[in-house]
Structure 1
Amino acid sequence: MTSLVAVDWGTSSLRAARIADDGAVLEERSSTRGILTVPAGGFPQVLQETCGDWLADALCLVSGMAGSRQGWREAPYCACPAGFAEVAQSLTWIAPGRIALVPGLSCEHAGVPDVMRGEEVQVFGAMDLLRQRDGTFVLPGTHSKWVRVREGRVQSFATFMSGECYALLRQHSILARTLPAEEPPLDEAAFTRGVHHAQDSGSLLRSAFSARTLALFDRMQPPALASYLSGLVIGEELRARGSEARSVVLIGSAALTARYALALRTLGVAATSLGSEATWRGLWALARTLEKT
């Protein structure tokens, strides 16, 4: 296989990896030059500054927000169901045969579109690493994604604004007055209590206020309240998914996947966790698919 430079270019950061023919990561680099810091027309220069010495005679696949309207060039979404072949065929080429943007995926629920850009590569990487062609893949974050995969293709997915909702409640609601300014270490007992209460209350609109009343009646201390609120928000996400799966694959940062694994385990759902290796494996698998087409 042609040598590969894999790039994950997000809103606030840029990561790149040089990947061997067998999928091994030879070297990684990162910078704070996310797409919001790049002026119009500046993407080629930033890429060159980050990993230009890797690019000679290499294929470069770029995933993430670089393919958005605010990025290098808009890469139209690939509609679900979609697998390796469909995404490989939908690449937007910046330099034919050399540099391409990965398109992201779209699906619809009741006539309303949903999208992901960057997470699809992580799902494909997890599928390849785990040799798993069916299942539910969960990508926690600011906008969490629940992805349903069947026979090696993403059938559909759903987005939950859980991380953003937590930040809004944590920093800009009445609850902020009783929560510590800095995020304390996870209190597992308070967190799982929040997860359980989310299942019983039926709505985050109702359960969120309990973070205030528990403080008012001195039934929970401020450091624990942050974990409790986190449990409420993540618990609401799990409640909304219902009994969709009895096991899931989590993909994301170690700290966040650990919270989701704890919440899932509390509700009797098993979880396998992967980190950044899923991104590099996904881009490598797409490059390998290109060679076969």
Structure 2
Amino acid sequence: MNASTPAPRPALLGLDWGTSNLRAFLLAADGTLLAERGSPRGIRHLAQPAPAGFEQALDEVAGDWLRDQPDLPMVACGMVGSAQGWQEARYVDCPADVATLARQAVVIRTAHGPLHMAPGLIDRPAADSGRPPDVMRGEEIQIAGALALQPALAARACLLLPGTHAKWAQVRQGRVTGFRTFMTGELYAVLRRHSLLGQTMPAEGSTGSDDAAFQAGVARARQAGPGELAHQLFGSRTLGLTGQLTPQGQADYLSGLLIGHEVVAGLAALRAEGDGDPPPLVLIGEPALLARYAGALRALGHAPAALLGNPAPQGLHQFAQAAGLLTEGPTA
């Protein structure tokens, strides 16, 4: 942008409001990200009870933007729309696309104007499948953003979103047709913090990693027989006791075991549910975690087609367009 070109005018406030954190994105009409802020005011960390706590958190993170432009449209995704959030936005059944989400948005009247909240998604497998329902809240907007960034994925893809509860989402013709959830991140945290295994590992947050130990865990997962995970987990302790793994190596071996079991199961499901060659597999999330998953996938012979960061701003922009909140820029 040269000196004579005016700065884009803010056209949208997007909020990615989770359990622990809140992120605010100031966006132009064409989806350009103009500014971004973070806050620790997730729905479990409000300064006061709801609804006043939500009003306060919104004002803290974006009140100056909203006072400068009082008519700024606002959209939100994530746990803010859960039963424990500001107001519940009920799950929408798969298959669904961003237009479906927009049609079933919940509108909250806030001190700064209406806030349009995206509903989550629910996958209800056939009764004879033996699978329980799966739900997501927030990832559906990241998926919409990923499809906006890489439109070719809309035809057919599997989007893997690692995290506390990892999601493997199937996309066909721009719609999420189904998904599976793996509690890999939460299992790792629980085992490391509250089990015998963590007692010989370094404190969380310590620097350094042992990629060889991680890959050894992935390889062990690949060799596992049915129901062997509980036995394999104990190996992260005994390999340390016998001097075959350092304390850091034990943590990375545990990570490799859990991620490896998830990836083995996720790839098996893709093969079982597929109708030919497996779809392109795209990773979405934090770079360090994506690198681990990419390494596990390559070790198992399935290199990812792409690694994306956080496409939530683009997804919130797509959601706002579909909801008719933007008067400029391309249509959804």
Same fold (TM over 0.5): yes
Aligned match for 2:169, one of 142, 147, 172: 147
Partner of 2:253: 228
Q: Name the stretch that deviates more: 236-245 or 17-26.
A: 236-245
| Alignment deviations for residues 88-117 of structure 1 (CA, whole Å, 9 cap, x no partner) | 101001139941111111112346221111
Equivalence map 1:233-272=2 (5 Å): 233-243=258-268, 244=270, 245=278, 247-271=280-304, 272=306
Match status 1:20 vs 2:28: yes
Q: Is 1:247–1:269's contact at 8 Å kept on the other side of the alignment?
A: no
**Gap runs ≥5 in structure 2:** 1-8, 271-277, 325-330
Which segments of structure 1 move beyond 3 Å, counting only runs of 4 or more?
95-98
Aligned to 2:60: 49
User: In the aligned structure 1, how far is the partner of 2:300 from the partner of 2:162?
Assistant: 17
For residues 108-162 of structure 1, the C-alpha deviation after alignment (integer angstroms, 9 at most, x for no partner) is: 2346221111111101101110112020101111111111111100001111110
Name whichever of 172-181 and 68-77 sits farther off.
172-181
Distance 1:145 1:53 in 2: 35
> Higher mean Cα deviation, 156-165 or 168-177?
168-177
- Bigger drift between 88-97 and 100-109 goes to 88-97
Picking from 88, 97, 102, the partner of 2:118 is: 102
Partner SS, residue 239 of structure 1: helix
Partner SS state of residue 87, structure 1: helix
Q: Deviations over 1:167-192 (max 9, x none)?
A: 12212222123222344522111111
- Structure-2 separation of matches of 1:7 and 1:242: 33
Superposed CA offset, 1:188-207 (max 9, x none): 11111110100102332121
Give the aligned partner of residue 11 of structure 2: 3
- Which of 129, 134, 140 is the aligned partner of 1:114? 134
Between 283-292 and 113-122, the greater mean CA deviation after superposition: 283-292
- Per-residue deviation at 1:53? 3.1
CA 1:261–1:252 in 2, change beyond 3 Å: closer, same or farther? same
Matched, 1:273 2:296: no
User: Which whole-Å CA distance do the structure 2 matches of 1:32 and 1:225 have between them?
Assistant: 31
Bigger Cα Rg: 2
Q: Which moved more, 1:97-106 or 1:257-266?
A: 97-106
- In the aligned structure 1, how far is the partner of 2:16 from the partner of 2:249? 35
- Give secondary structure in 1 for the equivalent of 2:282: strand
Q: Give the conservation status (yes or no) of the 8 Å contact 1:121–1:282.
A: yes
Q: CA deviation at 1:64?
A: 0.6
Question: Is the Cα–Cα contact under 8 Å of residues 184 and 226 in structure 1 kept in the other structure?
Answer: no
Partner of 1:40: 50
CA contact (8 A) 1:145 1:159 kept: yes
In 2, the alpha carbon distance for the partners of 1:259 and 1:250 equals 11
Conserved? CA contact 1:184–1:223, under 8 Å = no
Question: Structure 1: where are the runs of 5+ without partners?
Answer: none
Of 192, 196, 220, which aligns to 1:170?
Answer: 192
- Give the 3 Å change call, closer, same or farther, for CA 49–205 of structure 1 in structure 2: same
Describe the superposition over 1:250-279 as per-residue Cα deviations: whole angstroms up to 9, x where unpaired. 111111111111111111212211112x00
CA–CA distance in structure 2, aligned partners of residues 220 and 45 of structure 1:
48
CA displacement, residues 268-291 of structure 1 (integer Å, 9 cap, x when unaligned) = 212211112x00000101112223
Residue 275 of structure 2 corresponds to which residue in structure 1? none
Whether the aligned pair in 1 keeps the contact of 2:10 and 2:29 (CA below 8 Å) is yes
SS for the counterpart of 1:23 is coil
Check if 1:192 corresponds to 2:215. Answer: yes
* Aligned residues between the structures: 292
Identify the residue that residue 74 of structure 1 maps to in structure 2: 88
The amino acid of 1:32's aligned partner reads P
User: Secondary structure, in 3 states, of the residue corresponding to 1:269?
Assistant: coil
